[in-house]
């Protein structure tokens, strides 16, 4: 999740570096840190929950852990994740705002030089995001759908689309065929994943709880 959230910021960071050769070290360090976090989370999550570890280990912290200071640990995890979202949002929002401005106002002067357009684009995007967030019943539902789509789009569809566009005419016929196959497989897997997530969501919504 961390990698997917910050993937779109790589080019923006590269553009702001005085020495563009530093981007390789930055990316390698970031990947090493992310990998370390994932490994430690999976290891200690399994040591804590054992066979009861869920697909998303954060979901395990929604229940009573049955250990000393379990409620404190649950609160600490919630606070740390809230802080993570607060810190990641600007990193994701910056390239989103920049790219949308370039798409809708391609001939205008740079966004940083137009305070009015900067404010309108920022307020508009935040408003849309806020309204969308209010219609999501649970953060775990959002994770399910974004996990089923974002990784496939970034890892397969976007890269294959760039190859098919072939602006510099360097892609071979084999490359384009493989790109088409990648897109077809990615779309198929996306449809299956979205269907299964939606089916599970509606099934859980229609299942009466034990309290009822």
SS3 of 27-73: the string is HHHHHHHHHHHHHHHHHHHHHHHHHHCCCCHHHHHHCCCCCCCHHHH
Asked whether residue 155 is domain-assigned, the answer is yes
Q: How many domains does the chain have?
A: 1
Question: Is position 39 within any domain?
Answer: no
Structural domain containing residue 158: 137-203
- Give the model's pLDDT for residue 35: 84
Sign of torsion over alpha carbons 6, 9, 14, 18: negative
Q: Is the pTM of this model over 0.85?
A: no
Asked whether residue 63 is domain-assigned, the answer is no
Average pLDDT over residues 39-64: 78
pLDDT tens-digit series, residues 171-206: 888 889 999 998 998 888 888 888 887 777 777 666
> Is 184 contained in some domain?
yes
Mean pLDDT of 130-151: 74
Q: Does a structural domain hold residue 124? A: no
Sole residue written with tokens 């997530």: 197
Higher per-residue pLDDT: 201 or 169: 169
pLDDT at position 148, please?
A: 65
Task: Report yes or no on 9 lying in a domain.
Answer: no
| pLDDT for 150 | 72
pLDDT above 50: residue 93: yes
**What is the per-residue pLDDT for 24?**
85
Let me know: does 9 contact 91? Beta carbons within 8 Å.
Answer: yes
Query: What pLDDT sits at residue 206?
Result: 66
Domain contains 81: no
């Amino acid at each position: 999740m961390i990698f997917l959230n910050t993937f779109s910021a790589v080019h923006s960071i590269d553009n702001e570096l005085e020495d563009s050769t530093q981007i390789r070290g930055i990316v390698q360090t970031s990947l090493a840190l992310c990998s370390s976090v994932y490994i430690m989370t999976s290891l200690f999550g399994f040591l804590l929950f054992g066979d009861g570890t869920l697909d998303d280990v954060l979901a395990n912290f929604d229940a009573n852990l049955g250990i000393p200071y379990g409620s404190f640990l649950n609160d600490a995890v919630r606070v740390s994740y809230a802080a993570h979202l607060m810190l990641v949002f600007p990193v994701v929002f910056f390239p989103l705002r920049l790219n949308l401005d370039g798409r809708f106002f391609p001939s205008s002067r740079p966004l940083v030089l137009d305070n009015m357009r900067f404010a309108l684009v920022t307020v508009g995007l935040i408003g849309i995001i806020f309204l969308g967030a209010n219609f999501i019943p649970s953060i775990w539902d959002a994770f399910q759908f974004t996990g089923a789509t974002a990784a496939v789009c970034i890892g397969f569809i976007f890269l294959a689309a760039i190859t098919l566009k072939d602006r510099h005419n360097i892609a071979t016929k084999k490359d384009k065929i493989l790109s088409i196959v990648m897109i077809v497989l990615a779309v198929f897997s996306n449809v299956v994943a979205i269907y299964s997530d939606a089916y599970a969501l509606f099934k859980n919504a229609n299942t009466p709880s034990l309290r009822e």
